[in-house]
Each structure stands twice: as C-alpha cells, then as structure tokens.
C-alpha cells in the first residue's frame, strides 16, 4: 500500500505474477457496478493472459494486444500511440514515429480542460 500526496491510498504491483495472484482475484470476487468497467476488466484479464503466455514478446502478439486495447476505456487518450509501440518491434526509430502527424489528434478543450478528439 502506498499513499499519494493528496492522502489517497492505493495498492501497487510491479510484476505480472503479483497482478495475476492478487489484483485480478480481488476484482473477480468484488466486481464492478458499471457495465463499461466490467467490460474493460474482462478485456484486461484477456490481456493479462496473453502476457502470461508470452504473446507480448512477438509482433503478432503485440498487434493482438493493441486490438484489444483499442476497445478499452472507450478509446480514450493513450500515453503511447499504436505506431510508437509497433516501432519498437519493427526497428523503426521512435523519433521518426513521434514526428509524424497523427491521424486523429487529441486537443484540450478551452472551456473545461477535458480531452477531445479532433
């Protein structure tokens, strides 16, 4: 357990094994109320299984993971684009990928500060 500066406590795991042994069973037991959270958790479990099988170590496996990820969190903002992730497996320079314009850029709303596709 760790505490953030704002006083909120959270549980942090740093290994796939701990995620599989502790976190997933907890959420399987107690579940989620929101249907979208239930859907995303099922996909997260699927991703975890793929990684435990070592599929994330192959280009085909990474593509499979990206396909599942695309449908999670209603396609929200991502830290790394699919192009940046795939560049690691194809040997393309990540700098080249970052300089390319994105197909669908995200922009910050001036009114509320939320992120919108544009």
pLDDT tens readout for residues 18-77: 999 999 999 999 999 999 999 999 999 999 999 999 999 999 999 999 999 998 988 778
pLDDT tens for residues 91-106? 876 555 555 555 544 4
Is residue 65 within 8 Å of residue 56, measured between CB atoms?
yes
In a domain, 48, yes or no: yes
Structural domain boundaries enclosing 85: 15-96
In a domain, 104, yes or no: no
Task: Please say if the pLDDT value at position 7 is more than 50.
Answer: yes
In a domain, 101, yes or no: no
pLDDT tens for residues 8-31? 998 899 999 999 999 999 999 999
Lookup: tokens for 91: 């040997």
Cα dihedral value 13, 18, 20, 23, nearest 10? -50
In a domain, 7, yes or no: no
In a domain, 81, yes or no: yes
What pTM was computed for the model? 0.70
Number of domains the chain contains: 1
In a domain, 113, yes or no: no
In a domain, 76, yes or no: yes
In a domain, 84, yes or no: yes
């Amino acid at each position: 357990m760790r505490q953030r500066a704002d006083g909120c406590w959270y549980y942090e795991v740093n290994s796939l094994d701990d995620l599989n042994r502790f976190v997933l069973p907890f959420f399987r037991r107690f579940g989620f109320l929101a249907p979208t959270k239930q859907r995303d958790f099922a996909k997260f479990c699927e991703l975890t299984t793929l990684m435990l099988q070592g599929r994330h170590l192959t280009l085909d496996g990474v593509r499979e993971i990206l396909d599942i990820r695309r449908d999670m969190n209603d396609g929200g903002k991502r830290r790394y684009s699919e192009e940046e992730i795939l560049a690691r497996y194809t040997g393309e320079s990540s700098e080249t990928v970052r300089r390319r314009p994105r197909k669908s850029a995200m922009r910050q709303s001036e009114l509320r500060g939320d992120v919108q596709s544009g």
